[in-house]
Amino acid sequence: MKLWGHYKISWLLAVTCLLVLCGMGAVAQTQAAPAPAATAAAPPPMATDAPLDLKPAAAPSTDDLVKGDPAGTKTGTANDVVVSDTKKGMTLADLINQVGQNRIGINFTWTLITGFLVMFMQAGFAIVETGLCRAKNANHTMMMNFMVYGFGLFAFWVCGFAIQMGGGAPYATLGGASSLNAEHVVTFMGKTWGVFGTHGFFLSGISYDVGVMVLFLFQMVFMDTALTIVTGSCAERWKYVAFAISSVFMGAITYPLFANWAWGGGWLSQLGANFGLGHGYADFAGSGVVHAVGGVTALALSLIIGPRIGKFTREGKPNAIPGHDIVIVLTGCFILAFGWFGFNPGSTLAASGNGALRISSVAVNTMLAGCTGSFGAVLYMWIRYGKPDASMSGNGLLAGLVAITAPSGFVSAVSSAIIGLIAGVLVCVSVEFVDRVLKVDDPVGAISVHGANGLWGVLSVGLFADGTSNYGGSWNGVSGSVRGLFYGDASQLVAQLVGICTLVGGIFTLSYVSGWIMDLIIGQRSSAADELEGLDIPEMGALCYPEFVLKPEGLRVPAEVAAD
Amino acid sequence: MKLWGHYKISWLLAVTCLLVLCGMGAVAQTQAAPAPAATAAAPPPMATDAPLDLKPAAAPSTDDLVKGDPAGTKTGTANDVVVSDTKKGMTLADLINQVGQNRIGINFTWTLITGFLVMFMQAGFAIVETGLCRAKNANHTMMMNFMVYGFGLFAFWVCGFAIQMGGGAPYATLGGASSLNAEHVVTFMGKTWGVFGTHGFFLSGISYDVGVMVLFLFQMVFMDTALTIVTGSCAERWKYVAFAISSVFMGAITYPLFANWAWGGGWLSQLGANFGLGHGYADFAGSGVVHAVGGVTALALSLIIGPRIGKFTREGKPNAIPGHDIVIVLTGCFILAFGWFGFNPGSTLAASGNGALRISSVAVNTMLAGCTGSFGAVLYMWIRYGKPDASMSGNGLLAGLVAITAPSGFVSAVSSAIIGLIAGVLVCVSVEFVDRVLKVDDPVGAISVHGANGLWGVLSVGLFADGTSNYGGSWNGVSGSVRGLFYGDASQLVAQLVGICTLVGGIFTLSYVSGWIMDLIIGQRSSAADELEGLDIPEMGALCYPEFVLKPEGLRVPAEVAAD
Amino acid sequence: MKLWGHYKISWLLAVTCLLVLCGMGAVAQTQAAPAPAATAAAPPPMATDAPLDLKPAAAPSTDDLVKGDPAGTKTGTANDVVVSDTKKGMTLADLINQVGQNRIGINFTWTLITGFLVMFMQAGFAIVETGLCRAKNANHTMMMNFMVYGFGLFAFWVCGFAIQMGGGAPYATLGGASSLNAEHVVTFMGKTWGVFGTHGFFLSGISYDVGVMVLFLFQMVFMDTALTIVTGSCAERWKYVAFAISSVFMGAITYPLFANWAWGGGWLSQLGANFGLGHGYADFAGSGVVHAVGGVTALALSLIIGPRIGKFTREGKPNAIPGHDIVIVLTGCFILAFGWFGFNPGSTLAASGNGALRISSVAVNTMLAGCTGSFGAVLYMWIRYGKPDASMSGNGLLAGLVAITAPSGFVSAVSSAIIGLIAGVLVCVSVEFVDRVLKVDDPVGAISVHGANGLWGVLSVGLFADGTSNYGGSWNGVSGSVRGLFYGDASQLVAQLVGICTLVGGIFTLSYVSGWIMDLIIGQRSSAADELEGLDIPEMGALCYPEFVLKPEGLRVPAEVAAD
């Protein structure tokens, strides 16, 4: 064991070197990009309705094309610009329309595909959570995760989406989505503040619009991510019907409210424009909106439901209850890391124009923070307990990803690595804190992964945002780029802290009270007998693994681990 | 060993048939596509060969770029337009070509990526089907699903693709794919009707073309989806060699034929232009072409193969045979829901121009119908049997997705939710019907999910299509937008019914007869001894889970479920 | 415990080396890329600063848009072209910039999404390898695959990327990535040859650039693929700490060096321009760079580590040690086939301009070779051993995919099918050869899949490249298209052979020596007691499947298989 001491020293050295180096890197970023030169006053307009002479474009003829084009040099030419009047021929106006159509086509493609990736994260959450539970509850845990997609989507379609996004139009990168233009506002201190949106219920009427649909899809999969966090912390003892109603409530009300305030033109996003607090609450892809909302709701419901039987000894000492399948836990983490490439980079809602090429930087930041998150957790566990730990490695990766979600669009690669590394350690410490101090039972660590690190992510925007981003030249209606404390804007940090207080004060309270009322009316927790048997037969009517022989519970944990 | 003798002969026969068919196809290249109409006279054209003055574009210099561009504001400018003659500089002609290239680049990107997602559905089908089977057949079920990709693709490459798409060019959104221009036609009632295509065998010669390749990839993964449906309903008793030959036959003949009629310019798609039946048979992404073809083939082969030993009592009462792993069943459903975002939205074959921005509406419809499908099935099971059921939740999701496949491009969000909800209930009823009335054994419910709901999807186009879509202004050569009965066009419903009759009459018969002949020659069903032991060792030579202890069969089903 | 002492020292050494290397790299920024030649004089340029008359474009008004656009015909128009000076209105210069932005947006979107797919391959490798191992090592095998992502990424971010790509700018399809312009060169025979790059450490300073970030993400996921190959062949006996250090070394040094030589402007890529050997070493997507580097490293480390206890009898006869879960093996293969659609087609780094539409041909070639690979392996096993084999079917698929990786951008569909078929047979023969002749223990067949078939893929470029591709008109600075022996350019085959010799001679030696030194210092192999118990508890502290009852080892293999 003495050697661990030396080991620590070498680590300290290495980490110090790293930090020094990072610091040097941060300092070395001295040269800001020059502002684009201003253009002069305009001459009389140029006609755009004359047909264009296409001969110099030398597009291939039909006879030529029919011979096949293996190189791809005869395909995709002047022939492929859509012409409004084929008799007249292509005009400059056609060309301009096609350029606009191409831009929106790129943005749709990007936002939809990244949205699909986020939807796939549901599979990741499902198997991570199930793998971390016991086999006797595996069907139940899978089915919560499976139906959260259906229940949540339904509620969000009925009213959640309208509440969240119904007042934020126009969404320029998606061609407008212009019908989402009715935000309910209140006036306070002489300013109007958005509270919730009111267009887009059922996606019907004027919200039957291609731009609105892109936005719905992308926002819906984010909402579902928040919901699925709660199923993890309440697993192995949550009554299925209570879960179902909670999910509908959260998808219809809790999540959309906060999301409106942050992203739908609501009051948190107006803190900059109305109060001069930086650029208002800035949460690029939802460390706060998605993960911390999920995490604090998970905490509230875990408190109401109470710990699993056997989790704590009579003296309050926590027992480790290991998951039943590490393969699916880590496979799920990979799926989540894959889906996160949709989550963060897709949050630009654009890949052409508007400074949207920064998607690459967002993607790399995401990757790096996930990496240093798992790195940090592995090192923490290795140093503290003598062995790297699979569950905590996975949670470290997720913690890094959660933490970078809010700042991913505003920070550098080095900052991302630091944010992730801190997240990886934070999640380990937080899991111990929840277990030993709060004495809350969280089977999968969701409160620590999503709650603690979601808040850390929100905070880190106010520290590390470096002012290099440009998303159409402004953010939340405040021109210029988001900067944190380390780059000279302390007021941004204040805006972030207001967001954090709202999350912890408002969302926690709303979740706790609604959960408590539901507990009174229908009861949140399954019976002790069901819990001891495993919820699969009593709640779902079928075992997850009916053919496999399982060990009796007492024999599962190897002696050396049990003694830990 | 005797079987090997028969086996060899059947192989020789099959290969010979295949080659003969290919040969006939190659000879039958009868009808070339007509040249597009020449454009009429127009005002004097604008010159496009003068170099453009790029100074006002203010593109950054090399010196500037080398300093790095974190904001993405110096990247992607006038510098990045491809110039044909660098000495002369950029001309308007270059710009026009680049705009056309960009459009086709977007469409290629979209169609390829959505095609990749569809390919990934193979993984979903594999684990859904395997999870719903017993552990003793898990290797065999996985290997059917695994090799269907190889066998099907091979057959489709040799001749299936040419039969399906060889006569449908030009494909405008993909730059033409112009060499696929030879449809074999028959004349009937004074009209010519397409029967099968004849260009594109082996993707060689003039079909070595970048546009053709996109089309091949996208169509190939659809075909494979149809094949994989059959492996589910015939699981746990299908001889592997019979499966292999059936897959080749289906990939080479059955599927491509119907797909040509519906999508490749064949007679079903001409019902509108030739007979005035709406826009002809309209099947946006293949509820009929893919799922119902797979489902009716599954029914035909299930009838030939017969039920698993123990599925029905002597009195004909069905026994439930639960699957062995719910985790992989529901994970597979998630993968399928993910892949369906390729299946339906990708079927535009475009994301720029041609009204293709409706991809977002298609994606949301897909999502909503899947959601209400699982919703409907869960509610049905909960109400009828007292508990939500994992397998039926999964099947409900898939049923909703199958049903929305045909109408997804033509209907509103509300209609999609209704279509999905009906599908979710229909699949439960259909499973009971197949089990109790037809007394056909379908271990995974494929006949109900894909067959019944595939037909429901085809029908629903004729009811719910709302006339708001615009895919280049026409569909199947009939100008205007597809409308169903509820939106004023009863003739569209007739076209859909013709498609349904063709499916049930034609494809079922073809599948039944070919399957029956194959049964005579090589035998479709494994021996009773092999089936009782499990097919893994006799057919595959290895257990799926050699290290796990499994329960003896009698002990698997808990008492309360068995009594159900 | 003594080993921990060595371990500590080695850490200090490793960190020191790393830092020194980074320092040297930073200093060695010797050769800046030359500025592109200035364009020559041209006819008087056309003005582009006059505002355009947008009336003929007939873009919809705000009032119109607010009514919703279900068809997508009012969205994506002249309204959506970004205008630099809104007072003046849109100019031709704005249009030109938007066209350039669209092109780069398409290329970013394509390269990032395909990169995400490649990242997801990590999940595939993880479960393929774990499924092919025994349950007692499943946690350990998963955790190697999981952390290789973190360890490798970290090393690559610190210095690997700079070594690989730091001297290859400009990357035209990504807008330049212009800061990566410092290749360290040596002069030999009167020519300068690139050895390693020196810009891009930590992605900081001038490499904080959106183009650089795309390139980093795409190259990073390729590197990780190479690393994960080694974890397969060394599974079930590799000490975790040795694995961790090896991964860092490989990600920081071994892989980036060869990748620089082939792809980063290094000497292998210059064989054409400097020596007239075809187009220099041509490896489209890395059969050599990724797979063969991984495969020969796997061979080197397998030789050092030695076979698992029980793999060979005293007489040297190999025993089959079957994997514990076929479901995850084949699911992993599907994930890999899915990810390969990123691997190969994404390697164009473009989807618009530059002949990049050939992505479709690359994708189809990939699909076909994978198909014929599994086909070939199944037929080989069926004929030779009487049954198709699940593991070898999977390995056949992967072998086909590995082999087509290098030629995928240069060959026809028919050639791809042939290359894949040969690969499918080759992998079976190679597995037998490694087992029976080399007597090297490779639990998952990684040496055969990636090593043997990686080299076959590199070779096949020199045979089958057909001269139809056009990637901007040149490859590796040699104008014209890559052709192999069968299409008239024998010198290309020589270039490929030089690459193969470098791989086998150079990379194998580097890997072997570094692995051997590490073995001396910290020891590569876990103790015999740990290995017999299974590495999960001793190395990871937890079982993978703590609740499932496993068979004692002697009872696992059914008699008929054991006798094989």
Instruction: Indicate whether this complex's ipTM tops 0.85.
Output: yes
CA distance C51 to chain A (A): 5
- What does pLDDT average to over chain C? 90
On the question of pLDDT at A43 being above 80, the answer is no
Q: Which residue has the tokens 């069903």?
A: B525
Secondary structure of residue A176 in the 3-state scheme: strand
Verify whether the Cβ–Cβ distance B108 to C181 is below 8 Å.
no
Rounded to an integer, what distance in angstroms lies between the CA atom of residue B56 and that of residue A41? 12
B with C: how many residue pairs have Cβ under 8 Å apart?
346
On the question of pLDDT at C555 being above 70, the answer is no
pLDDT (tens digit per residue) in A205-214 = 999 999 999 9
Q: Which chain B residue lies closest to C113 (C-alpha atoms)? A: B113
**Cα dihedral C417, B210, A61, B274 sign:** positive
Verify whether the Cβ–Cβ distance A360 to C213 is below 8 Å.
yes
Nearest to A367 by CA among B225, C220, C491, B392: C220
Q: What is the pLDDT of residue C17?
A: 44
Secondary structure of residue C198 in the 3-state scheme: coil
Q: Which chain B residue lies closest to C366 (C-alpha atoms)? A: B217
Instruction: Count Cβ neighbours within 10 Å for each residue of B302-338 and write b for 16 or more, e otherwise.
Output: bbbbebbeebbeeeeebeebbbbbbbbbbbbbbbbbb
Q: Which of C17, C22, C114, C146 to mutate to test the interface with A (most CBs of A within 10 A)?
A: C146
- Please report residues of A whose CB lies closer than 8 A to that of B209: 68-70, 75
Q: What is the pLDDT of residue A471?
A: 93
Verify whether the Cβ–Cβ distance A210 to B102 is below 8 Å.
no
C559 contact partners, CB below 8 Å, separation of at least 6: none
Verify whether the Cβ–Cβ distance C57 to A75 is below 8 Å.
no
Secondary structure of residue B197 in the 3-state scheme: strand
Verify whether the Cβ–Cβ distance B81 to C73 is below 8 Å.
no
Q: Which chain C residue lies closest to B548 (C-alpha atoms)? A: C550
Rounded to an integer, what distance in angstroms lies between the CA atom of residue C148 and that of residue C234? 13
Chains near A (3 or more Cβ pairs under 8 Å) = B, C
Does the reported pTM lie above 0.90?
Answer: yes
**Cα dihedral B132, B137, B138, B141 sign:** negative
Q: What is the pLDDT of residue A212?
A: 96
Q: Which chain B residue lies closest to A129 (C-alpha atoms)? A: B327
Q: Which of A73, A79, A116 to mutate to test the interface with B (most CBs of B within 10 A)?
A: A116
Mean pLDDT, residues C323-331 = 97
Instruction: Count Cβ neighbours within 10 Å for each residue of C283-309 and write b for 16 or more, e otherwise.
Output: bbbbbbbbbbbbbbbbbbbbbbbebbe
pLDDT (tens digit per residue) in B477-509 = 999 999 999 999 999 999 999 999 999 999 999
Mean pLDDT, residues C414-436 = 97
On the question of pLDDT at B35 being above 50, the answer is no
Secondary structure of residue B439 in the 3-state scheme: coil
Give Cα A249 distance to the centre of its chain: 20
For residue C46, give the nearest of B50, B547, B548 by CB distance.
Answer: B50
Q: Which chain B residue lies closest to C373 (C-alpha atoms)? A: B150
**Quick one: three-class SS letters along C73-98?**
CCCCCHHHCCCCCCCCCCEHHHHHHH
% of chain A residues with pLDDT over 90: 84
State yes or no: cis peptide before A307, omega within 30 of 0. Answer: no
On the question of pLDDT at A309 being above 80, the answer is yes
On the question of pLDDT at B17 being above 90, the answer is no
Mean pLDDT, residues C78-104 = 94
Rounded to an integer, what distance in angstroms lies between the CA atom of residue A532 and that of residue B206? 68
CA distance A517 to chain C (A): 37
For residue C334, give the nearest of B71, B88, B123 by CB distance.
Answer: B123
CA distance C169 to chain B (A): 9
Contact C136, C235 (CB under 8 A): no
Token output for B167: 């006569």
Give bridge partners of residue C184 from the DSSP assignment.
C196
| A564: confidence class by pLDDT, cuts 50, 70, 90 | very low
Determine the straight-line distance between the first and last CA of chain C, rounded to whole angstroms: 42
- Please report residues of B whose CB lies closer than 8 A to that of C76: 352, 357
A151 contact partners, CB below 8 Å, separation of at least 6: A227, A244, A247, A248, A251, B375
% of chain A residues with pLDDT over 70: 90
Verify whether the Cβ–Cβ distance B378 to A150 is below 8 Å.
yes
For residue B558, give the nearest of A70, A71, A537 by CB distance.
Answer: A537
Q: How many Cβ atoms sit within 10 Å of the Cβ of residue C94?
A: 26
For residue A76, give the nearest of B44, B175, B335 by CB distance.
Answer: B175
Chains near B (3 or more Cβ pairs under 8 Å) = A, C
Mean pLDDT, residues C495-523 = 96
Verify whether the Cβ–Cβ distance A65 to B176 is below 8 Å.
yes
Task: Provide φ and ψ at A152, rounded to 5°.
Answer: -60, -45
C122 contact partners, CB below 8 Å, separation of at least 6: A334, C145, C148, C149, C224, C225, C228
Q: Which of C326, C338, C381, C393 to mutate to test the interface with B (most CBs of B within 10 A)?
A: C326
Q: Which of B31, B91, B371 to mutate to test the interface with A (most CBs of A within 10 A)?
A: B371
On the question of pLDDT at B377 being above 50, the answer is yes
For residue C210, give the nearest of B69, B151, B469 by CB distance.
Answer: B69
Q: What is the pLDDT of residue A34?
A: 43
Q: Which chain A residue lies closest to B387 (C-alpha atoms)? A: A540
| B554: confidence class by pLDDT, cuts 50, 70, 90 | low
| A560: confidence class by pLDDT, cuts 50, 70, 90 | very low
A with B: how many residue pairs have Cβ under 8 Å apart?
356
Mean pLDDT, residues A379-395 = 93
Q: What is the pLDDT of residue C44?
A: 75
Rounded to an integer, what distance in angstroms lies between the CA atom of residue A495 and that of residue A477? 14
For residue C72, give the nearest of B101, B358, B544 by CB distance.
Answer: B358
Mean pLDDT, residues A73-99 = 93
Q: Which chain A residue lies closest to B372 (C-alpha atoms)? A: A150
Alpha carbon dihedral C483, C486, C492, C494, in 10-degree steps, equals 170
Nearest to C209 by CA among C83, C94, C108, C96: C108
- What does pLDDT average to over chain A? 90
**Quick one: three-class SS letters along A366-426?**
HHHHHHHHHHHHHHHHHHHHCCCCHHHHHHHHHHHHHHHHCCCCCCCHHHHHHHHHHHHHH
Verify whether the Cβ–Cβ distance C78 to A72 is below 8 Å.
no
Give the range among A38-42, A355-359, B71-75 with minimum mean pLDDT.
A38-42
Amino acid at A505: G
pLDDT (tens digit per residue) in A16-39 = 444 444 444 443 443 334 444 444
Verify whether the Cβ–Cβ distance C53 to A75 is below 8 Å.
no
Helix pair C390-405, C453-464: axis angle to 10 deg: 40
Q: How many Cβ atoms sit within 10 Å of the Cβ of residue A126?
A: 29
Q: Which of A330, A372, A469 to mutate to test the interface with C (most CBs of C within 10 A)?
A: A330
For residue B142, give the nearest of C105, C326, C358 by CB distance.
Answer: C326
- E-state strands within B97-220: 183-188, 191-197
pLDDT (tens digit per residue) in B416-447 = 999 999 999 999 999 999 999 999 999 999 99
On the question of pLDDT at A165 being above 80, the answer is yes
Q: What is the pLDDT of residue C556?
A: 55
Please, what is the Cα angle at C186 between C185 and C189, to 5 degrees?
135
Verify whether the Cβ–Cβ distance B109 to C104 is below 8 Å.
no
